Structure 1
Amino acid sequence: MITLHHCPQTRSMRTLWLLNELGMPFQLRSYPFDRTLRAPEFLSLSPAGRVPALEIDGERMFETGAITEYLCERFSPDRLGRMPGSPDRMSWLVWLHFSETVSQHTAALTQQHVALREDHMRSPIVMKLEAARVTKCYAAIEARLNPPARKRDYLLTSGFSAVDISVGQAVYMARHFARLEDFPATADWYARITAREGFTASLPCGDGIYDRDFYAPWPLE
């Protein structure tokens, strides 16, 4: 049995999307994004008090990259994963972990725009710097999808994989702070992967972290 411990609109969304794509039976336990994650019961699952946490066959895992690698190796080595010996193995690993590069900047922006309640706590410099860094990440994705030689439909030449899920979910969150309009290949790719049923099934049913579609730099110019 697989149990995913999840908060809507967090990194655990990429594990939920992956499980939906795998077609594996699993249980979902959802939590509010608050001090519930600091309770001793939850810390026994994820010692840093973060999601996702995954229970599988009596064992416990945390960290999205590790969970993605394990689930792909075990349940989808060739379709969603790329195993050692695959021509795309190196790229699969690079883009899997690149999703965390995007997410760390988005996490900083989420803290500034959402978690900090008082305006005097926020830093316009941090907001603008981190939004610029997200845009640099978009540029890296754009270059990957639209190289001089041949345009790619997905991040790997061999087709859709778990790295499209991981990076795609990171972009889903990043779009709250930096728009895709200057990156047409990335926007097309994002539309393509988020049309999948696995993505739709991973969207929050109720309230998530964000209460608006886009957070403009602060203070407004």
Structure 2
Amino acid sequence: MITLHHVPQSRSMRVLWLLNELEVEFGIAPHPLDGSLRDPAFLSLSPAGRVPALEIEGERMFEATAIMEYLCEKFPERGLGRAPTDPDRMAWLVWLHFADTVTGCVDVLRRAHAEGAAGMMRDELVRLRRCYDAIEGRLSTPVENRDYLLTSGFSACDIAVGQAVYMARHFLAIEAWPELTAWYARITERDTFEAALPSPDAARMFTQEFYEVPNG
């Protein structure tokens, strides 16, 4: 049995999306945004008190991209990972983990906005623009069928980076990056993405659609 410990709109959303794509049986242990992630019971699953945490076959995992890498290797038949002998293996690893670079920017932006730290937000938006530039550059590479981050097609990279961009769009719109915009629309049309979105009555990590830089 697989159980995903999940907070809507957080990093655990990318694992939920992946599990939907893998079409495996799993359950969700939802967590509210009330400090319960610091309870000893949850800290035994994720020592930093963060989601996702995954319980699988009597073991526990934490760290989203590690979980994604493991699940792709455990269920290779869906073709969302890339084996060590695959020509796209290096790129797969790079882009899978690049999702955490994007999300790191989001973490700083959330904290800076909460503190009214306009200068910190502006500095981090520069870094986030560079991340968007990197994705745009990758998707603009003149190769046949560049619909996804890998030449070989849709993979867990698109899930991880796509969900990171989903979070980042709360602070920086993507429309100025045309290839990124088209790719994001393409991957978020999937039913598996829709199934990973928070339900209408769920507590959300983002309470606004967009967060402006505070005055000052």
| TM bin (shorter chain) | over 0.9
C-alpha contact 1:77 1:83 (8 A) present in aligned 2: no
In structure 1, what is the Cα distance between the partners aligned to 2:203 and 2:129? 27
How far residue 211 of structure 1 moved from its aligned partner, in angstroms, is 1.6
Distance 1:19 1:11 in 2: 13
Q: Counterparts in 2 of 1:121-140, with a 5 A limit? A: 121-140=115-134
- Segments of structure 1 that go 5 or more residues without pairing to the other structure are none
Output aligned runs, 1:179-198, within 5 Å: 179-198=173-192
Could you tell me which residue of structure 1 aligns to residue 139 of structure 2? 145
| Cα distance in 2, alignment partners of residues 9 and 182 from structure 1 | 23
Deviation string, structure 1 residues 8-35 (Cα, Å, up to 9, x no partner): 1100000000000000110101111231
Cross-structure match for 1:219: 215
Indicate the SS of the match to 1:82.
coil
Number of paired residues? 214
Q: What is the percent sequence identity of the aligned residues?
A: 57
Gaps of 5+ in 2: none
TM, length-normalised to structure 2: 0.95
CA contact (8 A) 1:69 1:81 kept: yes
Name the TM-score, length of structure 1 as normaliser: 0.93
Alignment correspondent of 1:99: 99
In the alignment, the residues of structure 2 paired with residue 55 and residue 48 of structure 1 have an alpha-carbon distance, to the nearest angstrom, of 16
Task: Provide Cα deviations, 1:168-201, integer angstroms capped at 9, x if missing partner.
Answer: 0000000000011110000000000000011000
- The answer as to 2:14 corresponding to 1:14 is yes
Could you tell me how far apart the structure 2 residues matched to 1:149 and 1:83 are? 22
Q: Runs in 1 of length 4+ with deviation above 3 angstroms?
A: 148-151
The alpha carbon displacement at 1:210 in A equals 1.1
- Residues 1-221 of structure 1: matches in 2 within 5 Å? 1-76=1-76, 79-113=79-113, 116=114, 121-149=115-143, 152-205=146-199, 206-219=202-215
Q: Aligned partners of 2:77, 2:83: CA distance in 1, in Å?
A: 6
Alignment partner of 1:55: what SS? strand
Question: 1:216 is aligned with what amino acid?
Answer: E
Q: Deviations over 1:31-89 (max 9, x none)?
A: 11231000000001100100000000000000011101100001026610001100100
SS at match of 1:168: helix
Shift of 1:112: 2.3
Please give the secondary structure, in 2, of the residue aligned with 1:201: helix
8 Å CA contact 2:136–2:179 kept in 1: the answer is yes
Letter in 2 for 1:210: F
Once superposed, what is the RMSD of the aligned Cα atoms? 1.3
Equivalent residues of 1:2, 1:55 under 8 A apart: yes
In structure 2, the CA distance between the partners of 1:67 and 1:108, relative to structure 1 (3 Å rule), is same
Distance (whole Å) between structure 2 residues aligned to residue 130 and residue 76 of structure 1: 37
